[in-house]
């Protein structure tokens, strides 16, 4: 434990800790006392305190961030059960596992409320809380536009509208115990083939789309675009156009609503390409134009 901290400020520091703990307890929905939370991790907090001789604003800010993280962990530990606070629901929608087949077929979760994250897509992980290329396909519940909030979550009242039939990940996930994520990481995730493999011509089109419009192909095409300084732009545009027109073809051919396409084919590549710093404009004649996103800032 760090022993060279300013003891004259320690009582004040503990008071500040209790106030911070009070706010965190309200956030996590626990009835524990701030005193209990602080005392449960006091040794850890003392170890985080910088030496009295060190006066560095950046170090102090970094230390306080670590202190708050430790207090939050201690606050969650006082409430080892779900109180439906909505913390998990607003950090990313759940991924479906094979264990969720029953709720899919019971019509609790309709296909139009699903989206597919395809292998290689740059996507946000609610486990690591970072963006990274997906190492496998995932079928997820949709999120509200421009947010990471699950479409079944109503912020007013903090209500999950399918709580009694919520997916497996929601049932096993514990926001107060991130380690539980590891408990399910090895379990088989639900894939499109398990749900759509028997649809005949539709599934054949989905497979053809994956062969010709995969994220691996898009990534390679974008890399060549950069290496050739824009000379291979036609290759990128061809992938984007094919992805776009296959969606329109399926909607027309099978007379299906367009909101099913994100489930069948994943996120449109015209949107996914923004992860590479590019922007797609569709002109009135149906042609696509590709421009750097940064140009909007520079203009």
Instruction: Convert the pLDDT of each residue in 100-156 to its tens digit.
Output: 998 888 888 999 999 999 999 998 876 677 888 999 999 999 999 999 999 999 988
Cα angle vertex 281, ends 278, 282, to 5°?
A: 145
Residue 79, pLDDT score = 74
pLDDT band at 9, cuts 50/70/90?
Answer: low
Residue for token digits 């800032």?
297
pLDDT score recorded for residue 208:
97
Least confident range from 180-184, 216-220, 250-254, 263-267: namely 180-184
For residues 119 and 138, what is the distance between their CA atoms, to the nearest angstrom? 8
pLDDT of residue 53: 54
pLDDT for the residue numbered 298: 40
Query: If you average pLDDT over residues 217-243, what whole number do you get?
Result: 95
Lowest mean pLDDT among 84-93, 169-178, 269-278: 169-178
How does residue 11 score in pLDDT terms, banded at 50, 70 and 90? confident
Q: How far, in Å, CA of 249 to CA of 235, rounded?
A: 21
Kindly report the average pLDDT of the chain as a whole number. 87
Confidence (pLDDT) at 128: 73
pLDDT score, position 72: 86
Q: Compute how many other C-beta atoms are within 10 angstroms of the C-beta atom of residue 191.
A: 16
Within its chain, how far is the Cα of 129 from the centroid? 6
Q: What phi and psi values does residue 125 have, to the nearest 5 degrees?
A: -105, 125
* pLDDT value of residue 47: 83
Q: Comparing C-alpha atoms, which of 283, 262, 278, 280 is closest to residue 270?
A: 280
Q: Select, from the ranges 20-24, 87-91, 233-237, the one with the highest average predicted confidence (pLDDT).
A: 233-237
Q: What is the pLDDT of residue 54?
A: 57
pLDDT band at 1 (very low <50, low <70, confident <90, very high): very low
The answer to whether the beta carbons of residues 152 and 161 sit under 8 Å apart is: yes
Binned at pLDDT 50, 70 and 90, residue 95 comes out as: very high
User: Each residue of 175-217: pLDDT tens digit?
Assistant: 766 666 666 778 899 999 999 999 999 999 999 999 999 999 9
Q: What is the rounded distance in angstroms from the CA atom of residue 46 to the CA atom of residue 168?
A: 39
Helix-strand-coil split of the chain, %, nearest 5: 50, 10, 35
**What span, in angstroms and rounded, lies between the C-alpha atoms of 292 and 282?**
15
Among the ranges given (66-80, 197-211, 245-259), the one the predictor scored with the smallest mean pLDDT: 66-80
Maximum average pLDDT range among 54-58, 155-159, 206-210, 294-298: 206-210
Cβ atoms of 117 and 136 within 8 Å: the answer is no
Share of the chain above pLDDT 70, in %: 88
User: Tell me, what's the pLDDT at 25?
Assistant: 87
Measured CA to CA, the distance from residue 153 to residue 159 in angstroms comes to 6
Average pLDDT over residues 2-12: 59
DSSP state of 188: P
CB 78 within 8 A of CB 24: no
Geometric angle at alpha carbon 67, from 64 and 69, rounded to 5°: 110
Give pLDDT, residue 2: 45
- Supply 139's token pair: 């079928």
């Amino acid at each position: 434990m760090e022993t060279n901290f300013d003891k004259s400020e320690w009582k004040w520091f503990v008071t500040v800790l209790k106030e911070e703990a009070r706010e965190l307890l309200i956030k996590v929905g626990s009835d524990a006392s701030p005193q209990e939370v602080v005392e449960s991790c006091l040794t850890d907090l003392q170890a985080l305190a910088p030496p009295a001789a060190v006066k560095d604003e950046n170090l102090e800010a970094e230390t306080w961030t670590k202190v708050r993280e430790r207090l939050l962990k201690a606050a969650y530990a006082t409430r080892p059960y779900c109180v439906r606070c909505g913390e998990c629901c607003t950090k990313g929608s759940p991924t479906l596992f094979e264990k969720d087949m029953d709720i899919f077929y019971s019509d609790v979760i309709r296909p139009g409320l699903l989206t597919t994250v395809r292998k290689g897509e740059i996507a946000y992980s609610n486990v690591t809380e970072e963006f990274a290329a997906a190492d496998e396909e995932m079928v997820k519940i949709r999120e509200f536009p421009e947010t990471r909030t699950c479409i079944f979550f109503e912020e007013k009242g903090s209500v999950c509208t399918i709580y009694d039939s919520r997916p497996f990940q929601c049932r096993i996930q514990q926001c107060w115990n991130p380690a539980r994520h590891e408990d399910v990481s090895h379990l088989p995730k639900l894939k499109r083939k398990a749900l759509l493999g028997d649809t005949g011509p539709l599934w054949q089109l989905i497979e053809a789309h994956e062969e010709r419009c995969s994220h691996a192909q898009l990534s390679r095409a974008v890399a060549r675009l950069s290496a050739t300084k824009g000379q291979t732009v036609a290759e990128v545009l061809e992938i984007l156009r094919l992805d776009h027109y296959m969606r329109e073809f399926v909607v027309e051919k099978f007379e299906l609503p367009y909101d099913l396409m994100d489930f069948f084919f994943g996120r449109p590549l015209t949107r996914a390409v923004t992860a590479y710093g590019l922007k797609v404009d569709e002109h009135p004649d149906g042609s696509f134009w590709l421009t750097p996103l940064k140009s909007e800032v520079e203009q």
